């Protein structure tokens, strides 16, 4: 067997393995959402500092954990309307936990609030929604921490999947979320 043929076989096996890994990741095969940790280890507040690209979990003012994040593709300023690529700023809460998210796991942020909806309505446009704290999009978990090289979400707060596992286990529905410039 020639070198060229061996090279083609190795390349084909590598491509098949890569496609299989992406397919399993995309289909969420074997994914199990982590259980909530004990109440004393859960965050009672989530702080996102957009300019620092940082998410901090707090309990009674004590830092539980800090994570680097990616934001919306146009991160400067408060979200104004659907499709603007901005990550909101202000006070919100976790509305629900989604173990079957299209982005590993996700926590829904309660954007838009009344003021956001009113501002959008007064401007004649939709405020947008589905703002989440989430892991990497299914099928792309192989990116790992490389996702931090640029802001890539549509207005969400993105973290690596292992980080999302930890956040998901420490944040319950109703937890306040503050997003700062």
Taking alpha carbons only, the member of 60, 28, 71 closest to residue 179 is 71
Name the CATH topology of 32-180.
L,D-transpeptidase catalytic domain-like (2.40.440)
Checking if the pLDDT of 146 tops 90, the result is no
Report the Cα 133 to chain-centroid distance in Å: 4
**pLDDT per residue as tens digits for the range 64-115:** 999 999 999 999 999 999 999 999 999 999 999 999 899 999 999 999 999 9
Strands ordered across the beta sheet of 54-59 = 62-68, 54-59, 45-49, 176-180, 90-98, 106-109, 132-134, 157-158
pTM comes to 0.82
The enclosing H or E element of 66 equals strand 62-68
Q: Give strand ranges (E) for 76-119.
A: 90-98, 106-109
pLDDT of residue 152: 92
CA–CA gap between residue 161 and residue 122 (Å, rounded): 38
Residue by residue, DSSP assigns 42-63 as S-SEEEEETTTTEEEEEETTEE
**pLDDT per residue as tens digits for the range 14-54:** 555 445 555 555 556 667 889 999 999 999 999 999 999 99
Instruction: Compute the average pLDDT of residues 142-153.
Output: 86
pLDDT of residue 181: 97
CA–CA gap between residue 107 and residue 93 (Å, rounded): 10
- 74-87 b/e with 16+ CB inside 10 Å = b? ebeebbbbeebbbb
Checking if the pLDDT of 173 tops 90, the result is yes
Please answer whether residues 97 and 43 qualify as being in contact, where contact means their C-beta atoms are separated by less than 8 angstroms: no
pLDDT of residue 167: 98
CA–CA gap between residue 181 and residue 94 (Å, rounded): 19
**pLDDT per residue as tens digits for the range 122-135:** 999 999 989 999 99
Greater model confidence, 6 or 39: 39
CA atoms within 13 A on the CB side of 48: 30
pLDDT of residue 139: 85
């Amino acid at each position: 067997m020639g070198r060229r043929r061996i090279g083609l076989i190795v390349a084909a096996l590598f491509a098949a393995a890569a496609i299989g890994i992406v397919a399993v990741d995309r289909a969420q095969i074997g994914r199990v959402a982590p259980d909530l940790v004990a109440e004393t280890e859960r965050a009672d507040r989530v702080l996102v500092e957009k300019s620092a690209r940082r998410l901090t979990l707090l309990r009674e003012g004590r830092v539980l954990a800090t994570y680097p994040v990616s934001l919306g593709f146009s991160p400067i300023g408060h979200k104004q309307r659907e499709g603007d690529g901005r990550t909101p700023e202000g006070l919100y809460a976790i509305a629900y936990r989604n173990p079957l998210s299209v982005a590993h796991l996700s926590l829904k942020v309660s954007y838009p609030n009344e003021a956001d909806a009113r501002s959008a309505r007064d401007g004649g446009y939709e405020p947008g929604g589905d703002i989440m704290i989430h892991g990497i999009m299914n099928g792309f978990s192989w990116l790992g921490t490389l996702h931090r090289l640029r802001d890539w979400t549509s207005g969400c707060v993105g973290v690596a999947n292992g980080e999302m596992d930890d956040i998901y286990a420490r944040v319950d529905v109703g937890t306040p979320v503050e997003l700062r410039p």
